[in-house]
Amino acid sequence: MPDKCNTGVRLLQGNESCAEAALLAGVRFFAGYPITPSTEIAEILSERLPQVGGKFIQMEDEIASMAAIVGASLAGLKVMTATSGPGFSLKQENIGFASFTEVPCVVVNVQRTGPSTGLPTSPAQGDLQQARWGTHGDHPIVALYPSSVSETFDLTVKAVSISERLRVPVILLMDEVIAHMRERVVIPCASDVVAENRPRPQMPPAEYLPYLADPDGVPPMADFGSGYRWHVTGLYHDETGFPTSSPAKVDYLIRRLHAKVESRVKEITFTASEFIDDAKTAVVACGFTARSARCAVRVARERGIKAGIFQPKTIWPFPDALIEDIASRVDRIIVPEMNMGQLVREVQRASNGKCEVVGYSRVDGEPIAPEEILARIEGV
Amino acid sequence: MAREIDGYLRSRFLPHIWCPGCGHGIILNAVLRAIARLDLDNDDVCVVSGIGCASRAPGYIDFNTVHTTHGRAIAFATGIKIAKPDLHVIVLTGDGDASAIGGNHLIHAARRNMGITVVCMNNSIYGMTSGQYSPMTPSGRYATTAPYGNIERNFDLCELVRACGANYVARATTAHARQLSTYIEHAIETPGFAFVEAPTQCPTYFGRKNKMGGPVEMIEWFKKNSVTMAAAAKLDPAELAGKIVIGELYRGNAPEYTELYAKVMERAKEAAGK
């Protein structure tokens, strides 16, 4: 098995870690369009996928890439695409389609500065809200956000699992700094990677209703060409999969889509924290910024300041309850981020006025250093 | 013995939503007759469409069917074909869907020689949004967004996809339903990218805006203004202007994409094993 050659302790970039994790999680189709700083993911998978019986295609644009992975997912494969900033904007149309038609897929967005072409290879964290609200209409989304090469591996596997199990597109938000930094990562054996599969129908084809949800809110999904014939449409549809404009059915569908994600917030929420239990000042940070924050908090503790850090690895759905709990115990929350305040507004909302919440933005294409956060912890 | 096409219909959804006199039903009939003559099982066919009048067709037919986003049908179909190369993947699309918003996907699927069949139901107008001009509206014709007459030139889609590398290119109007069905049959049989353009009447918008009469008059117009390839070869450019050239315009035998990719997989496995 080709995966053998990559199992073990490796020194990998975040992009390499993402690609290897995708293979071990069972991703067997990747369609993409080159864009920095995500490109290595496509380059690696173009080489590795055919080795494991998977398929890669470089499409003519970002929109087509997103469409192609949805098509391949309908035909039964675990699928992924990867892009950056402007490409993520282009993919939104078909991310909305995948959300609405409940087609599992993973979309990696290695963020870069924006708007528009921005600074093509400089880091920014400006796509947090686009990950949630990038498409038109109402639909839930799941987005995971690693802070290291090792976390990138773990969260890529989780992204595939959540996408398959819940039949939702999962966004893996990454930071350019992590995509291109090299770190130690332990790649497990294929047999040690547990990635879930989409629920498949157990009933005979004649009885299959493609959008009749199981009690857990997720309908079983048949592969095209497997003897179950069904219709997929971006129009509002009932349990048969065919269009409906019945207000009751329209209302039911959109509420079910939300409920299947919201009812699982606990099981799909991943976080990390340090010194948070007795903290008076909490830092809430994501992605690369969480590393600087962790460093700042450790130095603050050495100086006798009761600081702690909370890192949401699941950014959507936002961990409201956990943030509110922290807010009720601390005096102040500091939210450093490489954008004009996309995370801090969520923290303020979730804090429910229970403590002071202050943001710190850096938007010059440079990552936030620990000293900058430490200065704010110390009340400068 | 060819199958009956009834077995391919989701008859509970009939009658269809197309306007009285619309030619899309004739084209859908031609598609189903082609599939019947090929004796294909419902499970072995996948039909993909985008958005627009033509793109409602998959809802009426009992295959694996996807009604996707505007213009993107061919890109979705590409993913399906790569994932399951044994499926017969057919894209039913309109002229706006295929040549405007989806033009990029059309030319690249032809260039890759992706093994899908694209049937372009070309009514020269945006019907679903009620009569705006499309890239297939001929110069001088009227539309709700061309109230002074269209100053743009329309595509020759068959020439376009042929130039891009398609393996099969044909054209027949709704006045030539039998030929149309035969061409679609040949298209489905062709390994590689196959394209059939089916000019069709839209009496509700194109016909009315251009004072062409009802569906009968429009079909008569197609008959009078269509020429075979052999006849076209004898006409000078001035005589050919505005005429619809019908026939099997091109057949190639370039290797099909998923067959080439299967060889990539073999090479990759060998390389990984060393």
Distances (CA, A) of A199 to A6, A147, A196, A221, B108: 30, 30, 9, 6, 34
Strands across the sheet with A78-83, in order? A55-58, A27-32, A78-83, A105-111, A169-175, A142-144, A314-316
Check pLDDT > 70 for residue A3: no
Interface size, chain A vs chain B, as Cβ–Cβ contacts under 8 Å: 139
- The end-to-end CA distance of chain B, in Å, is 51
**Cβ within 8 Å, pair A71-B78:** yes
Residue B138 has pLDDT above 50, yes or no: yes
Q: How many CB atoms sit inside 10 A of residue A36's CB?
A: 16
Could you tell me which of A332, A327, A319 has the C-alpha nearest to residue A286? A319
Contacts of A223 in chain B (CB under 8 A): 84
pLDDT digits (tens, 9 = 90+) for B63-122: 999 999 999 999 999 999 999 999 999 999 999 999 999 999 999 999 999 999 999 999
Distance of alpha carbon A162 from alpha carbon A313, whole angstroms: 14
The reply to whether omega before B203 is within 30° of 0 (cis) is no
Nearest residue on chain A to B262, alpha-carbon basis: A50
Contact A53 B265 (CB under 8 A): yes
Is the alpha carbon torsion for A168, A173, A179, A182 positive or negative?
A: negative
User: Given this model, what pLDDT does residue A194 score?
Assistant: 86
Q: What is the mean pLDDT of residues A176-188?
A: 97
Answer whether A55 touches B (CB < 8 Å).
Answer: yes
For the stretch B30-55, pLDDT in tens is 999 999 999 999 999 999 999 999 99
**Inter-chain touch B108–A60, beta carbons under 8 Å:** yes
Minimal Cα–Cα distance from B74 to chain A, Å? 8
Q: Report which of B205, B194, B142 is spatially closest to residue B170, judged by C-alpha positions.
A: B194
**Chain A residues closer than 8 Å to B108 by CB:** 59-60, 64
| Distance set, CA B128 to CA A45, B47, B59 (Å) | 40, 20, 16
Q: Which residues of A touch B261 (CB under 8 A)?
A: 50, 55
B46 in contact with chain A, both atoms CB, cutoff 8 A: yes
Please list every residue in chain B whose beta carbon sits closer than 8 Å to the beta carbon of residue A70: 68, 76, 79
Cβ within 8 Å, pair B75-A68: yes
Q: Does B63 touch chain A (CB under 8 A)?
A: yes
Dihedral over alpha carbons B64, B89, B17, B96 (to 10 degrees): 140
- Name the strands in the sheet holding B244-251, side by side, starting at the edge strand that comes first in the sequence: A231-233, B64-67, B45-49, B88-94, B116-122, B194-199, B168-171, B244-251, B226-228
Q: pLDDT tens digits for B12-31?
A: 999 999 999 999 999 999 99
Q: Do B46 and A47 touch (CB under 8 A)?
A: no
CA distance A199 to A34: 32
CB-nearest partner of B69 from A73, A77, A93: A93
Provide the pLDDT confidence category of residue A5 given band limits of 50, 70 and 90: low
In this complex, the residue of A97, A229, A234 whose CB is nearest that of residue B64 is A229
Angle subtended at Cα A322 by Cα A316 and Cα A328, rounded to the nearest 5 degrees: 135
Position with higher pLDDT, B2 vs A52? A52
Mutate to test the interface with B, among A224, A228, A230 (most CBs of B within 10 A): A224
* Among candidates B62, B63, B82 on the partner chain, residue whose Cβ is nearest the Cβ of A72: B82
Give the integer Cα–Cα distance in Å for A327 and A340. Answer: 22
User: Which residues in chain B touch residue A136, judged by CB atoms under 8 angstroms apart?
Assistant: none
- Alpha carbons A167 and A260: distance in angstroms, whole number: 9
* Interchain pair A68, B76: CB under 8 A: yes
- Band (A1; pLDDT cuts 50, 70, 90): very low
pLDDT digits (tens, 9 = 90+) for B188-221: 999 999 999 999 999 999 999 999 999 999 999 9
Euclidean distance between CA atoms A375 and A297, whole angstroms:
11
Neighbouring residues of B190: CB distance < 8 A, sequence distance ≥ 6: B117, B167, B168, B251
The predicted-structure confidence for A257-297, as pLDDT tens digits, reads as follows 999 999 999 999 999 999 999 999 999 999 999 999 999 99
* Residue B230 in this model has a pLDDT that exceeds 80: yes
Contact check, Cβ <8 Å, A235/B67: yes
pLDDT digit string (tens) for A210-230?
999 999 999 999 999 999 999
Tokens of A123: 């880091």
Mean pLDDT of chain A: 96
**Res A4: pLDDT:** 52
Quickly state the pLDDT bin for B2 (edges 50, 70, 90): low
Q: Predicted confidence band at A241 (pLDDT cuts at 50, 70, 90)?
A: very high
Q: What are phi and psi of B100, to 5 degrees?
A: -95, -90
Query: Are the beta carbons of A67 and B76 separated by less than 8 Å?
Result: yes
Closest CA to A270 of A311, A323, A222, A225: A311
The answer, for A240 touching chain B at a CB cutoff of 8 Å, is no
Interface test with A, best of B8, B16, B84 (most A CBs within 10 A): B84
CB-based contact, A79 to chain B, within 8 Å = yes
Is the ipTM above a cut-off of 0.90? yes
Q: What is the DSSP string of A88-119?
A: HHHHHHHHHHHHHHT--EEEEEEE---STT-S
Indicate if the alpha-carbon torsion angle A335, A337, A340, A341 is positive or negative.
Answer: negative
Whether residue A194 lies within 8 A of chain B, CB to CB, comes out as no
- Contact at 8 Å (CB) between B55 and B92? yes
Q: Which of A136, A150, A211, A221 lies closest to A184, judged by CA?
A: A150
B262 touches chain A (CB under 8 A): no
Is any Cβ of chain B less than 8 angstroms from the Cβ of A137?
no
Query: In the structure encoding, which two tokens stand for residue A326, read together?
Result: 């922290």
- The answer to whether the CB atoms of B67 and A232 lie below 8 A apart is yes
Cβ–Cβ < 8 Å for A48, A23? yes
Are the Cβ atoms of B84 and A75 closer than 8 angstroms? yes
Q: Which two tokens stand for residue A263?
A: 């009812």
Q: What is the pLDDT of residues A95-143, one digit of tens each?
A: 999 999 999 999 999 999 999 999 988 999 999 999 999 999 999 999 9
Q: How many residues does chain B have?
A: 274
